[in-house]
Structure formats: C-alpha cells, structure tokens
Structure 1
Amino acid sequence: MDRRTLLIGAVGAGAAMLVGCSSDDDSSSLPTSDPTTSRSPLPGAVDLTVASTIATGLNVPWGIAFLPNGDALVSQRDDATIVRIATDGSVTTLGAVPGVAPRGEAGLLGIALDPDDPAVLFAFVSTASDDRVVRFDLDGDQLGDPTPILTGIPVGSRHHGGRLLFDDEGTLFVATGDAGNGETAQDKDALGGKILRITRDGKAAPDNPFDNRTWSYGHRNIEGLAFDADGRLWATEFGEKKADELNLIERGGNYGWPKVEGRGDEFIQPKVTWKTDDCSPAGLAITQSTAFLGALQGRSVFAVPLDGESAGEPREFFAGEYGRIRNVFVAPDDSLWVTTSNTDGRNQPEKDDDRILRVTL
C-alpha cells in the first residue's frame, strides 16, 4: 500500500514538557484551570514517552476504533477511506465511503464500533448537503454500503464536530459543530453546536433532557469526547479568539456559545482554558485519572490530571516535535495512540506524515 508502512523500531523521543504551546504566531500563555479546582498537581502525575511509530503515510487520520482482536480501524478524512491496521503491522484498505464531500475541515471524521456487535461500524461523514451519521456492516476486510441513521446536521467548510462515542448502555453520543453559524448552538431543537445523544437507529435516546436528541448545547466545535472511570463525560472545544476549553458535560447544560467564550457567569464554566493560539484541542482520551488532549495549534499533547469533577494544571509533552497533533486514543494495551495532522493543509508535511505514534505512560 502506498506509503503506509508499519515501523517496528522505537522512535528515539522522550517526553518533553515545556511551558506554553508552540503555535502559528508568537503569542503564548499558560493554560488556566478552573479557579474552583486545585491549583497544585493532583496525585498520579504521568510522564509520556514515544515508544514506536505504528504507521506512516496516512491521510489526516481522524478516528480510530479498536476491534476485539486488537486490530484498529482508522478513518482518513480527505480521501474518505477506512484502513485496518492489524496487530502484526499490516495495513489494509477496507474501502472508500461513498458520498463524502471533503472540503476544509469536512470529510470522513469520527468512527465508533457498536459495543454489542463489532461487525457494525458507525461513522460521522460530510456530504455536499449535510453532515450525517451512517452505519456500515463489516465483513472481514470488506466495508458494506452506508445506511444513514441521522441526517440534516448543518454542514459548512468548518466546525463539524464529528466525534462519536458509545456509553456502556449502547447509547451513542455525537459531537456536532455550529458550521460557522453560532446562533444555532443556542437553539435546543437544532442539531448544530451540540452534543447529541441518540439510539443506534438515530432517534432521541430515552431520558434526554429536552425530549429531542440534544444532550448539551451552546457548543462551538467539539472534536473530543471521552468518559472518565466513573462515567463522567468530558469534551474538548475550540474557541474563536479568546479561549479553548476542556469541559465536564452536564445533562441539559448550556456552555454559552456564542454568547460567551470561555468563562461566563450564567453558563457552565470550563474546567480548563487555553488561549486559542496555544492549543486548539481536538481529540481526547482519559486514562489513569488524566485527560490527554491533542493540540493542533499547540503541536503537542496536554495531560490534565483529574480528581472527580476537578481538573489540575495541564502539562505539555512533545511540543513542536511532530507537528500538529489531532487525536489521542487509549489502545487495548493501555498505551496511547497519538495521530498527527500535517497533511490537512495547515502545515508542511514531512515525508512520513501523517503518522500514528505509540506513546507509553
């Protein structure tokens, strides 16, 4: 397969912790945690080390879903394909997803396996007319035709959200962006600027707060969703000019966009904020009482210690070493898979980009 090569050897890179982010301009600042939380380091601080490179030559790897045997399915945003990375290192293309219209930040985005049937895959895709959630049947290395289960999510060249996450009960959470129209985020009946909670057939899940698909609202653009060990839902959110956010998501909560960015007294407060030039938090993974964020502008991984509903001071790793970092996933062996995003048109890719790194804690 063109330029998709598994590298067995370890990458000679240790964890680097710097103050502030490496961004596209000269501005930098320390991230700020919620003033109601502890300002001192929380117990169980982690260190990160790049142990090896899983794969290279990928095209904007966006979503990862691990199969029961340890193989990984990876969605590629701009060429709208899904590849399978086996435990022995082989990489196979399952197929292209029909109807996807990549442009700007649009394309084939998040994926999630049905927790009760790993032969069923869900994906968030952008078409010419909308963003939507579709379902596939998997047959070995064959990708079936997509069946739409939720259509009509607003689409534009930016702010798609796109993350999919199942809970333990088989309910699907869907992060959507405002598609550049902030007012839709405050409309509880609109699909944009939300975290949606739906059934496998795309209907509103039981016990949703507004008797529709909306779980939380007032979001600009969420690309990261993760549960902590106690089942609390956390999300990363892109700001516009003031503040990127790490949020603890509450049922029916209003997170303020576009009325407020960052902290606002009448809305739910973020647990951590960064200046927008310093972070741009995309993917999110939680393990060992720590939230790990991929930072696109920051070109790094942030590790935020968690203690219940509190978040401590972020620590930064790998600043500037691998370019833009989009996603972080917890692998079956408890390592982290970290994806670069240097082929997305906003950075000069190196010859091995994009790549997936295996990071140990």
Structure 2
Amino acid sequence: MRTRPARRATWTVAVTAALAAGFLLSAPGTGRAIGTNHVAGPSHTAGAGHTAGTGRITAPSHTAGSPAPAPASAPAAASEPGSPKTVSSGWSIPWGLSWLPDGSALLTERDSFKVYTLTQSGTKRQIGEVPNVVTTGGEGGLLSIAVSPSWKSDHYVYVMHTAADGNRIARMAFDGSALSDYKVLVDGIRKNTYHNGGRIKFGPDGYLYATTGDAQSPDLAQDKTSLNGKILRMTPDGTPAPGNPFGSLVYSYGHRNPQGITWDAEGRLWEGELGDSKYDELNLIEPGKNYGWPICEGGCSATGMTDPKRQWPVAEASPSAVAYADGAIYMAALRGERLWRIPVAGTSAGTPKAYYTNHYGRLRTVESVPGPGTKSLWLTTTNADNNGDGEAGSDKVFQIDLG
C-alpha cells in the first residue's frame, strides 16, 4: 500500500515567479446485486442502445515521461487551461458534482454526508443529508451524485455511498428545495477501507454508469459474477441495461479502483483508474472487455487483456475523476496534485501535459461546465481528508476557463 509524500514546504524562485505571473506548472434497484475508491495513502489509493466503446484499443500504453507509439491519428492541438478562479471555499472533501438544468450544481461532501447546491456565482445552500451512509476510516462515505437526465419531470437524483452492509447506489427525489424519498437501487457491492470506486454518471445513451473498486480483494475484479472491480451500466431503476455484455449489470471488468468516467464528443467512454504501485491508467472502455487487474497493472502482453491508452507512474497521478472538454480528457490527480490534460482524437490519446503541479494540493473532481459555447471546468480539492494536510473546511471549488 502506498503512502503520500510530505507536501513541499518551500518553492523554488522559478516556480514562484511562474505562479505569480499566472503561468501553469507542467510536467511532460430494484434488482439486488452481488458485489471500492483510491487515495494516495494506505492504497494508491433510458435510451435505446449505447454509444460508448465504439473504438478498439490497438496499441500498448506508455509512461508519461517515456517515448510512446505514434497514435493512429494525431489529436488536434487546443487552447491551454487558464489559472483557477475560486468559486466557493469552506468545503470538506467535496467528492461528487453533477449539474442541474438551471446551470447550478449539486455537490456532496464525503464525510459529512451532506448535499449542497452551488450556483456559478458561488451561492452555496445545503439541501439535505443522505441517510444510511457510513465512513470506512479511509475512502468510504458519501461519494458521487448524478442528476437524472429527466430531472425536470421526474425530480430524481442518484447517489453512490458506503453503507453498513457494503456500497450502494440509491435514488432520491429533489424538488428544487430539499432531498427526500431515499430508495436503494443496487446493493451488495463489497466495501473496504479503500478501493470503493464510487463514480456514477449518466451516459449519452440515458443509462446510469457506476465504477466499483476491488474492495482490497483483487481477485474480485476478474470474477464476472461479482460487482466489484467493474464498470456497471443500468437503467434508471437499477436493472441491467439492454445490451450489457453478460446480461448483468457488468459492463467491463478487470478494474482495480476506477473513480473517473467521461464521454468524448463521439460518445466513447473513457475511464481513469488508480493502480497499485506501478501505473495509473487512462482506459478507453468497450463492453465486455477485461482491463487486466490484478494480472496486469498498466500495459502487458497477457492474452485477453485490454491495455490502457495512457499510463503514469503512481506518484504522478492517482486519478479521481476525468472530464471531457475542448478536445481533451482532463484528469484530476490526488497524490500527483496536478490536473492532466490528454488530447484525444478518435480512439487515440495524445501526449499528456500537467498543470498546477503541487500548487492546490490533492485534486478530487473535475467536470465540464454546461451551456452553449461554454469552455470551462469546475475543479475541486480534497485536502481535508486523511491523506491531505488541510483542516476541515479548507477545500475549494475552482473554475478554469479554457481560452
């Protein structure tokens, strides 16, 4: 298991000058189911049809600092992300973030079990707590949240959290004022102190996707009858989505501790995954594919395994979330304390570049800001957790303009 290095207490003159000038640091349900989230501490740490996984992986990955095979098509260059601007402060481990139709966001706090609305002008309001949540002394608690694509008519929001009997996906009603009507959709996902996964999002096909960790039992990732170490795909009622490869909730398997999923402009599903001691991964997800853990960590030659598109030494990443914007995947790093930008074109991932290295601490969640013509991200820190060096209330929500 991995420990987090001490935060730097001093800065070089060159770094300080660059930051002062605004430059960015870079370094090249209804059906019950059977069945965790990584930190850089004790572990590295209703539509029809789906659009994800249309591309196939054809080449092995490489580390961020080593030569890479040339991509099949070179991703187009795009503008640089600007300096982060504080939207809101006073948070403690803001984990999940999902947008409401009016452009405001719902955010969760992992250890307080509270849910808030946050407007783009920075107005914050608590709308309730999620019941039946427990912590694990590590990565468990209230994890992510997803607003129903039909929220204006059904008023549903979805949460993933740790409960006494394991990890759950539940649905609640939000009438614009308060949360109510908690209902469990999927349970039986094994929990542990670490490796709880925890990210849920609705895909462009209208189905709900969820990432689950191996619960510190690596063999579960290769067991297709287990919900651990998987990406799950389900209807809004928590039943297996039509077209799932095994007729169950399981969409892909062989994952260690995936915490980030996003879709590119063509509907391909990308995933960020925390490795053990060697490599973290960016994967292009296809239904039914085996992504290797624990047989492989990073690219390998084992038969039947799907290699990542990119991989990083664990000290440089520990990815918790990924988002697509401006022709690229943006990946928030915990232990690496930086935001990675990876240009993508088709099924190819270009050369990663890092921003804000060691300046804002541990970065938990990144999401694209919605709206016509909007080119911005929201980014949250998570320095108030058991692997950070911040106090309760020290975390922030930033906006980053992609200009």
State whether TM-score is above 0.5. yes
User: Who is 2:400 aligned against?
Assistant: 359
CA RMSD of aligned residues (A): 2.2
**2:101 aligned with 1:72:** no
2:166–2:187 CA contact under 8 A, matched in 1: yes
Report sequence identity in percent. Answer: 38
Which whole-Å deviations, capped at 9, do the CAs of 1:84-118 have from their partners, x for residues lacking one?
11244221101111110012100111111110225
Paired AA for residue 306 in structure 1: V
Structure 1 residue 351, shift from structure 2 partner? 8.2
User: Who is 1:14 aligned against?
Assistant: 22
2:73–2:345 CA contact under 8 A, matched in 1: no
Q: Structure 2 residue aligned with 1:157, among 193, 198, 202? A: 193
Summarize the Cα distance change of 1:16–1:268 in structure 2 as closer, same or farther, 3 Å threshold: same
**2:215 aligned with 1:179:** yes
User: Who is 2:252 aligned against?
Assistant: 216
Q: Structure 2 residue aligned with 1:202, among 238, 253, 263? A: 238
1:40–1:313 CA contact under 8 A, matched in 2: no
Summarize the Cα distance change of 1:199–1:313 in structure 2 as closer, same or farther, 3 Å threshold: same
1:34–1:270 CA contact under 8 A, matched in 2: no
Structure 1 residue 33, shift from structure 2 partner? 8.0
Which whole-Å deviations, capped at 9, do the CAs of 1:104-148 have from their partners, x for residues lacking one?
100111111110225210000101211010000002221103100
Q: Which moved more, 1:229-238 or 1:142-151?
A: 142-151
Q: Which moved more, 1:324-333 or 1:181-190?
A: 324-333
Following the alignment from structure 1 to structure 2, what is the Cα–Cα distance between the partners of residues 14 and 360? 13
Q: Structure 1 residue aligned with 2:79, among 22, 40, 46? A: 46
Structure 1 residue 47, shift from structure 2 partner? 0.9
2:72–2:348 CA contact under 8 A, matched in 1: no
Bigger strand fraction: 1
Structure 1 residue 278, shift from structure 2 partner? 1.6
Following the alignment from structure 1 to structure 2, what is the Cα–Cα distance between the partners of residues 37 and 110? 35
User: Who is 1:105 aligned against?
Assistant: 139
Q: Structure 1 residue aligned with 2:180, among 144, 149, 167? A: 144
Which whole-Å deviations, capped at 9, do the CAs of 1:202-230 have from their partners, x for residues lacking one?
11111111111110000001000000000
Following the alignment from structure 2 to structure 1, what is the Cα–Cα distance between the partners of residues 345 and 331? 17
Paired AA for residue 269 in structure 1: D
Summarize the Cα distance change of 1:319–1:284 in structure 2 as closer, same or farther, 3 Å threshold: same
Summarize the Cα distance change of 1:319–1:41 in structure 2 as closer, same or farther, 3 Å threshold: farther
Q: Structure 1 residue aligned with 2:149, among 88, 109, 115? A: 115
How many residues are treated as equivalent by the alignment?
A: 345
User: Who is 2:367 aligned against?
Assistant: 329
Following the alignment from structure 1 to structure 2, what is the Cα–Cα distance between the partners of residues 357 and 228? 22
Which whole-Å deviations, capped at 9, do the CAs of 1:40-96 have from their partners, x for residues lacking one?
973223311125201111111111111111111101111111011124422110111
Q: Structure 2 residue aligned with 1:62, among 95, 115, 119? A: 95
User: Who is 1:5 aligned against?
Assistant: none
Summarize the Cα distance change of 1:294–1:358 in structure 2 as closer, same or farther, 3 Å threshold: same
TM-score computed with the length of structure 2 as normaliser? 0.81
Summarize the Cα distance change of 1:188–1:34 in structure 2 as closer, same or farther, 3 Å threshold: farther
Summarize the Cα distance change of 1:310–1:173 in structure 2 as closer, same or farther, 3 Å threshold: same
User: Who is 1:341 aligned against?
Assistant: 382
Following the alignment from structure 1 to structure 2, what is the Cα–Cα distance between the partners of residues 79 and 147? 20
Following the alignment from structure 2 to structure 1, what is the Cα–Cα distance between the partners of residues 87 and 391? 16
Summarize the Cα distance change of 1:40–1:350 in structure 2 as closer, same or farther, 3 Å threshold: farther
User: Who is 2:338 aligned against?
Assistant: 300
**2:319 aligned with 1:319:** no
Following the alignment from structure 2 to structure 1, what is the Cα–Cα distance between the partners of residues 67 and 200? 26
User: Who is 1:278 aligned against?
Assistant: 316
Following the alignment from structure 1 to structure 2, what is the Cα–Cα distance between the partners of residues 87 and 357? 10
**2:115 aligned with 1:82:** yes
User: Who is 1:269 aligned against?
Assistant: 307
Structure 1 residue 14, shift from structure 2 partner? 2.8
User: Who is 1:288 aligned against?
Assistant: 326
Paired AA for residue 272 in structure 1: R
User: Who is 1:258 aligned against?
Assistant: 294
Structure 1 residue 12, shift from structure 2 partner? 6.9
For structure 2, list consecutive stretches of 5 or more residues without a partner in the other structure.
Answer: 1-18, 29-39, 42-61
Following the alignment from structure 1 to structure 2, what is the Cα–Cα distance between the partners of residues 131 and 156? 9
Paired AA for residue 376 in structure 2: S
2:338–2:354 CA contact under 8 A, matched in 1: yes
Summarize the Cα distance change of 1:12–1:75 in structure 2 as closer, same or farther, 3 Å threshold: farther
Paired AA for residue 109 in structure 1: L
Following the alignment from structure 2 to structure 1, what is the Cα–Cα distance between the partners of residues 108 and 397? 12
SS of alignment partner, residue 219 of structure 2:
helix
Q: Which moved more, 1:138-147 or 1:337-346?
A: 138-147
Paired AA for residue 19 in structure 1: A
Following the alignment from structure 1 to structure 2, what is the Cα–Cα distance between the partners of residues 307 and 241? 29
Summarize the Cα distance change of 1:116–1:240 in structure 2 as closer, same or farther, 3 Å threshold: same
For structure 1, list consecutive stretches of 5 or more residues without a partner in the other structure.
Answer: 1-10
SS of alignment partner, residue 236 of structure 1:
strand
TM-score computed with the length of structure 1 as normaliser? 0.91
SS of alignment partner, residue 44 of structure 1:
coil
